[in-house]
């Protein structure tokens, strides 16, 4: 599904150039659950943003489902992203002014799904995430664990091929964190490919493979299953 080769990303100011990614190469096969780990500032989030087509590399190749996307413009990246990738963030990134139902429905509106189909899909995913009883609540009326359930529901409502999770349990206690990791595991077992950035060794044990980064490079890889 993902093949990146010699990926490089720089951040420049007038005085200094920072190398965020330095010749990174890796592959993620369809159906894998992969953790990316490393200290703060090592390039994990930069890599995740490029994998999610939120940013583009300065050099190197990125094949997504055998399509070279490294040089896509923003319009092409956005179109591919909307139909193929779901995101789960540490801070949930829910819209406070929208209800649970409306937050989950939003990606379907962007992809022009009909109202009838939207209703069907949103209700199905809210049932699956066991959050249907909160459909008319607003994010601030929910616990952290419930908010992350809504965020996961929003990420999967479009049936994406890939989910990118950035510290998905970072703002949760251990009980709610374990629930979210179990949800991600179930989605993966149903066929969704997941790439997760995490600092948590505990969370990484849910995955198939751990890629460790340091100073913008991949340094080790551990296969868990």
List the domain boundaries for the chain: 30-57+74-223
Angle at 175 between CA 212 and CA 33, to 5 degrees: 35
- Exposed, middle or buried by CB within 10 Å (0-12, 13-18, 19+), for 122? buried
- Residue 221 in this model has a pLDDT that exceeds 70: yes
**CATH class held by domain 30-57+74-223:** alpha beta
C-alpha 116: how far from chain center:
27
Backbone dihedral region of 55: left (phi > 0), alpha (psi from -120 to 50 degrees) or beta? beta
Q: What is the mean pLDDT of residues 162-168?
A: 95
* pLDDT, tens digit (0-9, with 9 covering 90-100), for 79-120: 999 989 999 988 899 999 999 999 999 999 999 999 999 999
- Residue 16 in this model has a pLDDT that exceeds 90: no
pLDDT on residue 225:
64
21 to 116, 119, 130, 221: CA distances (angstroms): 44, 41, 39, 17
Q: What is the mean pLDDT of residues 197-214?
A: 95
pLDDT band, residue 223 (cuts 50/70/90) = confident
For tokens 């997760």, what's the residue?
196
**Reported pTM:** 0.91
Enumerate the H helices of 92-173 as residue ranges: 100-110, 115-128, 144-156
């Amino acid at each position: 599904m993902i093949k990146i080769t010699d990926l490089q990303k720089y951040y420049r100011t007038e005085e200094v150039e920072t190398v965020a990614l330095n010749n990174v190469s890796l592959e993620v096969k369809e159906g894998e659950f992969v953790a990316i780990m490393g200290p703060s500032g090592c390039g994990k989030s930069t890599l995740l943003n490029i994998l999610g087509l939120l940013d583009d590399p300065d050099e190197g190749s990125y094949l997504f489902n055998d399509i070279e996307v490294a040089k896509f413009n923003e319009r092409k990246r956005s179109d591919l992203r909307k139909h193929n990738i779901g995101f789960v963030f540490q801070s949930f990134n829910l819209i406070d002014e929208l209800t649970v139902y409306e937050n989950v429905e939003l990606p379907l509106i962007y992809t022009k799904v009909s109202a009838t189909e939207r209703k069907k899909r949103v209700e199905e995913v809210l049932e699956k995430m066991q959050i249907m009883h909160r459909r008319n609540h607003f994010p601030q009326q929910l616990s952290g664990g419930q908010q992350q359930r809504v965020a996961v529901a929003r990420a999967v409502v479009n049936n994406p091929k890939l989910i990118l999770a950035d510290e998905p349990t970072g703002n949760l206690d251990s009980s709610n964190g374990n629930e979210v990791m179990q949800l991600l595991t179930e989605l993966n077992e149903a066929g969704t490919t997941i790439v997760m950035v995490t600092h948590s060794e505990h969370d990484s044990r849910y995955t198939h493979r751990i890629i460790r980064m340091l100073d913008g490079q991949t340094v080790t890889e551990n296969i868990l299953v």
